[in-house]
Structure formats: C-alpha cells, structure tokens
Amino acid sequence: MIRAIKQYVLKQQYTPGFLGLWLNPFYHARSELGKAIGQMAPSMRGRLLDVGCGRKPYREMFLANEYVGLEIDTPENRANKQADFFYDGNSFPFGEQDFDGVVCNQVLEHVFIPDQFLGEIYRVLKPKGLLLLTVPFVWDEHEQPWDYARYSSFGLKSLLEKNGFEVLKQRKTNADVRMLFQLVNAYSFKVLWTRWPVINLLICATVMAPFNILGAFLYKVLPANPDLYLDQVVLARKIANE
C-alpha cells in the first residue's frame, strides 16, 4: 500500500494528470516533457543506461531488458537516488559498447565539459545505439552552483553531431503560451514555497493552479511560438566508425 502511494506521488510529480493541475507547480513543464519522452521511449530497447537517473521517474516507459541507473557519487545521491552505480563525474564505470541505449534527462546543462560527457555516452553505446536526451532552454538557474549551460535547438544538434551522433528526432516542449504560465509558477515556487507541506498544497491550489488551468485552455486557441519554449527532447543515434 505504501509503495503504491509512493509510486502514485512520483507519477504526479513527473507525469502529472488531472490532479497535477491543482497540486503540481511544474505541471506544464513536467506534463509535456513526460509526453515527449513517452513518445520516443518505445524506440529504446535492450540494455539501457539512465545517466543522472535520480529516482528513475520514467523507468516504466521503456521496454528494456535491463535498466541501469547511474549517478555522481555523493552522500546525498547515495541516500536519495535509485542508482545502481555511482561514479566520479568523469568516466562511466562500464566497458565499451555495453548498452543498446542511453537516457539522459535534464543533466547536460549541469555538465561543465559536454564533449567529454558525450564522449563517455558514445563509448558505452553499441554501434547505432540510441540516445534519448532532454535539456532545458528557458528555465531558471537550479541545483546551483552546478548549472552551466542552456542550448538552442541548433546548438544542441551541432554539439551532438560533433560528438558522433545523428539526430533522428528533435522536439520542443511548451512552445506556446503555456511556457509563460509555467514561468509565472516557477517564480511563485521560488518566492512562496515553505518547509510545511500543507501550506505548500494550499499555495499550489490557490496561487498556481489558476495559471495551470489557464495555460491548459489558452494554448489551444492562441498561436504557438516555435522559437520560445521550455525544453528540448532529442532522439539521436550513434554513428558507428567505419
């Protein structure tokens, strides 16, 4: 029972449904990111590596024979994350061509040397292995001081190609008025959130939920803007060396 409740709470945090409109400050960002990942996830099969896995919130979306979580080795991560392996932040603790696919969700912006990081992903992927990568574009600084970069769609594609990947799909999320409402709620979260969960629920239901609901309706009637968006979701393939 307790495990089921925890799974439901995790789902509402990362792939929120109707209840999330009222209780999730990041409803629009998380909802669209989860949908985009879910649409690309069926392409990923076999043995998968989730780099920066956190609590593995998207694990159930993937038809994997094995789903391996990897995190930076810190006391906090060992206590709070669901990683199977920990590493020093430089070299992944795996051999070459160990995985059929790699998932990397909202991690690249925290990497100071992206070429080295992508080189490690390339190394552990099998020839023609797939990479599912997500990064923020418009978002506040987070996990300070380890927030180093934001990538345009052109910059991200170029970075991947430079490091031996072919971009198969590239999607922008919330490229419409929902982006504005989500940023209002992100601001409210920073300035209003407290240590007390009950008060936070009230804040979300009274202050943030109206913006979630307005965004859910208005994006259907107002024009989109493909140049201004929250996140990118990319499916790329390792180009095998000749």
**pLDDT tens digit sequence for 88-136:** 999 999 999 999 999 999 999 999 999 999 999 999 999 999 999 999 9
pTM of the model as a whole: 0.94
**pLDDT tens digit sequence for 194-220:** 999 999 999 999 999 999 999 999 999
Q: Is 7 exposed, middle or buried (0-12, 13-18, 19+ CB in 10 A)?
A: exposed
**pLDDT tens digit sequence for 157-166:** 999 999 999 9
Instruction: Give all domains of the chain, ordered by start, each with its CATH number.
Output: 2-238 (3.40.50.150)
Give how far Cα 163 sits from Cα of 22, 95, 118, 156, 160, Å: 42, 19, 7, 11, 5
Residues 6+ apart with CB under 8 A from 137: 150, 151, 152, 153, 172, 229, 230, 231, 232
pLDDT confidence of 223, banded at 50, 70, 90? very high
Q: b/e per residue, 33-67, with b = 16+ CB within 10 A?
A: bbebbeebbeebeeebbbbbbbebbbbebbebeeb
Q: Would you say 174 and 32 are in contact if contact means Cβ atoms under 8 Å apart?
A: yes
Residues found in the chain: 242
pLDDT confidence of 85, banded at 50, 70, 90? very high
